[in-house]
């Protein structure tokens, strides 16, 4: 008798599509989806095979087009407050549809470009205090959004938060298949309410950086982390002594590496641990990709800029944190799900134990409380609340 899954699967037996669907559903508290629109996507995919990524793309883009059309109608009628959230959700549906479509053909890139344009419309209409920015990096520029901290209410100041001077800031990098627009929907609107600004970035290998700027994934992510700190220090509206870093999924490699090799970072969260990413993909490739994965197997070749799996493994060899995180000195939080099917809990335990930080915490979410799946997608608002509380303590109240 088959064992029932421990979590909700919109597409029973289909890990990747179900994971993506729950990822979208979890962003509802931050404006990422409307349940009616999401269910339209689900109905369009009813009876489709999990290998039919063309159908996934078409369904997401079809609904995104409808939602964008409503945003444009509200905008034309001079109702910007109504238009803004529809643009935000349309962006999300376009990008979640496009992420399974590799190699990136003209249709994929057109959908992605439209998604970014929708987010920019959201920026212009929402009044959310978002600035579209470019971070100088090795003769090029990394695209990002600077989301300014909200003023701290008097009651919060009385409870110990810093009430004057330049606010702290968090650099928020993505993962293997996440983007700065999708990251925004993973708790950024809540984090800025706590008096912390956020620099949300597409690093090398993700988002616009790889699609439109020719920047594939690379192991030395601390170079991008240092570029972000240089940029923030030059702004003048951020406290340079209180800059933290968080990154999600594969970002569990990026953030600890940055915080270990760039001493200007004052706090670090690995949102989903990574220990030996080469080993992770070696197992997946050896298993013929018969594993719980968030993307099609060939995605790894595209993101690394190579044309074979052997070449991908060669490029992944330095994606290991042993020998690196021992150098970390800032406060460190490792967040992981007890039932994460993509990265085992033992990798989070190894990362935690190896860190050289004297102030370190391993927070494991269980199935009973929720958040036990990969990067707390099954209880996103709880995961972000715990992480942002920690940033409050280490940066805002420090």
Tens-place pLDDT, residues 207-262:
999 999 999 999 999 999 999 999 999 999 999 999 999 999 999 999 999 999 99
CATH 3.40.470.10 fits 129-276+319-398, yes or no: no
pTM: 0.95
CA separation for the pair 341, 339 (Å, rounded): 6
270/363 Cα distance (integer angstroms): 10
Residues 6+ apart with CB under 8 A from 201: 135, 142, 143, 144, 171, 172, 173, 174, 180, 224, 228
Q: Where in the chain is the domain with CATH 1.20.1440.110?
A: 14-127
What DSSP element (H or E) covers 312? helix 309-316
Assigned CATH topology for domain 14-127 = de novo design (two linked rop proteins) (1.20.1440)
Q: In the chain, which segments carry CATH 3.40.50.1820?
A: 129-276+319-398
Answer whether 334's CB lies under 8 Å from 360's CB: yes
DSSP assignment of 179-222: -HHHHHTTTHHHHGGGT-EEEEE--TTSHHHHHTT-----S-TH
Residues (pLDDT < 70) of the chain are 1-7, 50, 152-164
CA atoms of 261 and 327, how far apart (whole Å): 7
Q: Which residues contact 368 (CB under 8 A, 6 or more apart)?
A: none
Looking at residue 1, what is its pLDDT?
42
What is residue 331's DSSP assignment?
Answer: -
State the helix-helix crossing angle for 53-76 and 80-98, rounded to 10 degrees. Answer: 170
Q: Return d(Cα 291, Cα 230) in angstroms, integer.
A: 40
Q: How far apart are CA 37 and CA 90, in angstroms?
A: 10
Predicted local confidence at residue 49, as pLDDT: 72
Cα torsion 28, 105, 137, 357 to 10°: value is: 50
């Amino acid at each position: 008798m088959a064992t029932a899954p421990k979590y909700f699967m919109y597409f029973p037996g289909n890990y990747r599509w179900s994971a993506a669907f729950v990822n979208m559903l979890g962003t509802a508290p931050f404006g990422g989806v409307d349940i009616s629109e999401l269910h339209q996507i689900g109905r369009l995919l009813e009876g489709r095979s999990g290998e039919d990524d063309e159908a996934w793309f078409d369904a997401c883009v079809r609904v995104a087009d409808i939602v964008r059309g409503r945003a444009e109608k509200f905008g034309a009628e001079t109702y910007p407050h109504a238009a803004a959230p529809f643009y935000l959700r349309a962006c999300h549906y376009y990008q979640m549809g496009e992420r399974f479509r590799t190699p990136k053909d003209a249709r994929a890139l057109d959908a992605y470009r439209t998604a970014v344009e929708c987010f920019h419309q959201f920026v212009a209409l929402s009044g959310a205090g978002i600035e579209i920015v470019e971070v100088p990096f090795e003769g090029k520029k990394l695209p990002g959004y600077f989301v300014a901290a909200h003023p701290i209410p008097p009651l919060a100041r009385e409870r110990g938060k810093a009430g004057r001077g330049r606010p702290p800031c968090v650099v928020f990098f993505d993962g293997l298949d996440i983007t700065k627009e999708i990251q925004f929907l993973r708790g950024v609107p809540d984090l800025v309410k706590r008096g912390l600004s956020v620099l949300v970035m597409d690093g090398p290998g993700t988002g616009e950086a790889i699609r439109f700027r020719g920047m594939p994934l690379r192991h030395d992510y601390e170079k991008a982390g240092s570029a972000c700190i240089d940029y923030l220090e030059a702004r003048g509206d951020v406290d340079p002594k209180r800059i933290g870093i968080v990154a999600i999924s594969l970002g569990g490699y990026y953030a600890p590496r940055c915080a270990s090799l760039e001493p200007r970072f004052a706090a670090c969260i690995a949102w989903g641990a990574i220990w030996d990413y080469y080993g992770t993909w070696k197992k997946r490739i050896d298993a013929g990709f018969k594993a719980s994965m968030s993307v099609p197997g060939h995605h790894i070749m595209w993101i690394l800029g190579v044309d074979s799996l052997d070449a991908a493994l060669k490029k992944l060899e330095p994606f290991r944190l042993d020998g690196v995180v021992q150098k970390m000195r800032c406060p460190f939080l490792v967040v992981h799900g007890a039932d994460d099917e993509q990265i085992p809990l033992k990798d989070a335990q190894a990362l935690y134990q190896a860190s050289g930080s004297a102030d370190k915490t391993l927070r494991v979410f269980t199935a009973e409380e929720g958040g036990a799946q990969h990067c707390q997608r099954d209880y996103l608002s709880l995961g972000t609340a715990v992480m942002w509380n920690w940033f409050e303590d280490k940066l805002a109240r420090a």
